[in-house]
Structure 1
Amino acid sequence: MIGNRRQAGDERLTAAYTANATDLLTYFARRVEIPADAADLLGETFLIATRRSSRLPVDDEEARMWLFGIARNVLANAARGTARRHRFTAGLREHLATLPPEAPGDRALDVRAALDAIRADQAELVRLVLWDGFTVPQAAVILGITESTARGRYQRARTNLRTQLHDYQHEWSNT
């Protein structure tokens, strides 16, 4: 009985979403600067609607208004989040504008190329430890892996980086 009721609710929500998705996408597209954001907001709207599906009105027009109400709240939350980010980063942008520009040297380019050449999971661990200042155990927590896995991965990454950097140094000396 409960399974049938839930299935019927899911079918009603799917039908309401299908009937209104294009209009909801247009609603978002007219209100955001980056068109791709409209799709993200539509996805968020459907996610919230799914969580609240027990409140979905039976009447098609009321269901449409309910979805648009959710969409309006999703859009407002996104706007508040954007405003917070801009307030937070304004000071950082001002500070960065006062720093002298730095052109990366050949060695910095070699390091970036070497990081790009090793496995992505190893490269991210190295970046967290060497660039962001985390310890290997802290990086393990961030990456969601065990400390022993992180330590082994970090050692392999260092070996792979050493090999890559040696290869780049050898290339430079032969040119």
Structure 2
Amino acid sequence: MTGPRANDQRLTRELGEVMPALLRFLERRVGTDDAPDLLGETLVVAWRRVADLPEDAEDARMWLFGIARGTILNHARGERRRLALAQRIRQRLSIDNASAPADAGADVRDAIDRLGDDFSDLIKLVHWDGFTLAEAGELLGIPTTTARSRYRRAREELRATLGEGAAEERSPIQVTDDSESALTRLGTVSPP
């Protein structure tokens, strides 16, 4: 009996005899958590390559263990890639988070939140997200001229709010007579 059906029957018979040993082989190399998944991957590859199944029973057994070893190597490469990616993400996050303490600029954020939605959204889009006034106006669905006038009024309100609070408490934001200093610093205050 030859052909695809015969190969399927031979592989089924070989797997019945070898599968417990394959699982133990995988468990010793990757642990009991990952071994069943790798056994499944090994079986998928074996069924996909069933036409390559050797005739001799011992050769077939070694062929299955060779497939299992290849599955382990693929798994190890994937783990290394995942660990390297996680490390790059951790490094990137540590660089991004090393900027300012969590409460730095809280008075500015509070002042922006008190402005009202029309003004605060515009200020956040321009200073935190880096949009131009025209782009922010487009995102908010308002003409550029309206965005400019709202931005000007928002700056005036922020100047008044931050100017009053500066005398009462020390702030990480220095408010001076220079009308742009508080707003210039807005760009350095990260969103909550």
Question: 1-side partners of 2:93 and 2:61: how far apart?
Answer: 46
Question: 2-side partners of 1:43 and 1:97: how far apart?
Answer: 38
Partner of 2:74: 77
Tell me the TM-score normalized by structure 2: 0.47
Question: 2-side partners of 1:30 and 1:51: how far apart?
Answer: 25
TM-fit CA distance, 1:85: 1.1
- Equivalent residue of 2:30, what SS? coil
Q: Runs of at least 4 residues of structure 1 off by over 2 A?
A: 93-100
5 Å matches for 1:75-154? 75-96=72-93, 99=97
TM-fit CA distance, 1:91: 1.7
Is structure 2 residue 52 aligned with structure 1 residue 55?
yes
Partner of 1:28: 26
Q: Whose Rg is larger?
A: 2
TM-fit CA distance, 1:52: 0.6
Question: 2-side partners of 1:36 and 1:13: how far apart?
Answer: 26
Q: Which has the higher contact order (CA 8 A, sep 6+)?
A: 2
Alignment gaps of 5+ in structure 2: 103-192
Alignment gaps of 5+ in structure 1: 103-175
Partner of 1:114: none
Tell me the TM-score normalized by structure 1: 0.51
Question: 2-side partners of 1:72 and 1:63: how far apart?
Answer: 14
Question: 1-side partners of 2:54 and 2:13: how far apart?
Answer: 12
Partner of 2:37: 40
- Equivalent residue of 2:84, what SS? helix
TM-fit CA distance, 1:97: 5.1
Paired residue total? 99
More helix per residue? 1
RMSD: 2.3
Question: 1-side partners of 2:27 and 2:90: how far apart?
Answer: 28
